[in-house]
Every structure is written in structure tokens, then in C-alpha cells.
Amino acid sequence: MLATEPDIEAPRITLKKPEIWEEALNVIFIGASGASNLSAISAAVSVFGIDSNLVRLALENAIALPLCRVNRLEEADFIRSRLETAGATVCVIEDRRLNQDKPPVRIRSARFTETALLLEDFNTGRIAQILFDERVTVVSGRLVTSQSEHRSRRKDDEKRRESMTVTLDTPLLDIYRQGDPSGFRIRADGFDFSGIGNSAGLIAETNLKILTEML
């Protein structure tokens, strides 16, 4: 009588966002082979609650796409296996390999020449050049920070505690070139938008959207 292998239970995929202090793993969609079925790949990512439209856009624009972050290697390997079976090319990258301790270089201004984009370092004034034939990844986002202040005061022999919270919401744009995981960061506040010419207006967030479209 032949022994049968026991069924292996697939790990439970929660896709719970790891805490900021936790070491996590990033599942990155790289692309797909020419014979791959987009419908099969879309169905595979949907199982994990990932928007399949993002995968379609990544394929159309030939860019890598971070799909999710998980805590355990078993979960990352399971997701990768399911997607590779559907014809996708996927890699898993640990947080420590992303060089998170080195933030993007903040940019003061950007100018366009006939062949390149020139970025001025906010702190040093140095100019970085990105040629138009280079492949870069542009990421739009927002930096949200909160600061709380607590005070105790006494009034009419009664001690009262007062608190105030200030939240700042800053639109930003990150630019990553191949071989440079740190990248460049353009914040709507403190940025010189004269490089977009007559399109520049009075609202920084609108100017940032125009700059994004120009890139």
C-alpha cells in the first residue's frame, strides 16, 4: 500500500499592515511573460485583496509594482507561488534591503532642458541630472504628520488639563531612478515651481500635479 502525502494547509493570508517598527517583507510584481494571461494574473492578485487594475497599469507601463507587505516569509512565498503559477514574475524584498534609514533627497527646484531633468538639492544646491531616455519610477503621495501639545493649568483652585493637536498634510512627489533606491523627493511646501513656466499658479498642490503630468 502506497503512503500518501498529507495535505499541506496553505498559510492564512491576512495582509495585515505590519507595524512601523516591525521587520517585514515586500512582495513586488515585476512583470509577466509574453504568453501570460492577464485575466489569470488579475484573478490571482484579487484573492489577496489587491486591486487588479493596478497590475494591468503596471504591465501597460512596464513598471514594477509593490503589491503588499507581510510579516512572515511563509506568507510571502505563498503569494509569490500563486502569482508565478498564473504567469507573473514576482520578487520578495526584505525591509532592510530597501535602505529605509536613508530618506529621499529633498529637491528645491526642477528645470527641464532639451535632453534632461535637472533637480536642485534643497540643502546643498547640487544639481542631479536625469536624462529623458532613463527609466524612472514616479510616486505621488502625501506626508501626514501630527503633533500634540498638552498643558496643565490651575484656575479657581482647580487643575485643568488642556490638549491641542496640529496635523500637517503635505503633498509630495518621489522620483526613483534605476540603481538608486533612495530617490528624490519634491514637497509642495518650500519648492520653486518656476520650472513649469507659465503653468505655475498660486496653489502649490495644483502646481505639483502639473509637474507630475510633465514628468
- Does residue 1 surpass a pLDDT of 60? no
DSSP state of 129: E
Rounded Cα distance between 26 and 32, Å, is 18
| pLDDT of residue 14 exceeding 60 | no
Question: Under a CB-based contact definition with an 8 Å cutoff, are residues 52 and 32 in contact?
Answer: no
**End-to-end Cα separation, the chain, in angstroms:** 66
Q: Which residue has the cell 518650500?
A: 190
**Is CATH 3.30.1390.10 correct for 25-98?**
yes
pLDDT digits (tens, 9 = 90+) for 39-58: 788 777 777 777 778 888 77
Res 118 pLDDT > 90:
yes
Q: Which cell numbers hold the place of 115? A: 535632453
Mean pLDDT, the chain, rounded, equals 80
Classify residue 154 by its DSSP letter: E
For 142-197, how does the pLDDT look when each residue is reduced to its tens digit (9 = 90+)?
A: 777 777 776 777 666 666 777 777 777 888 889 988 877 788 999 998 899 999 98
DSSP label at residue 120: E
Q: What is the pLDDT at residue 136?
A: 86
Given this model, what pLDDT does residue 155 score? 65
Q: List b or e across 126-161, with b for residues whose CB sees 16 or more CB atoms inside 10 angstroms.
A: eebebeeeeebeeeeeeeeeeeeeeeeeeeeeeeee
Domain ranges in the chain with CATH number 3.30.1390.10: 25-98
Average pLDDT over residues 102-112: 90
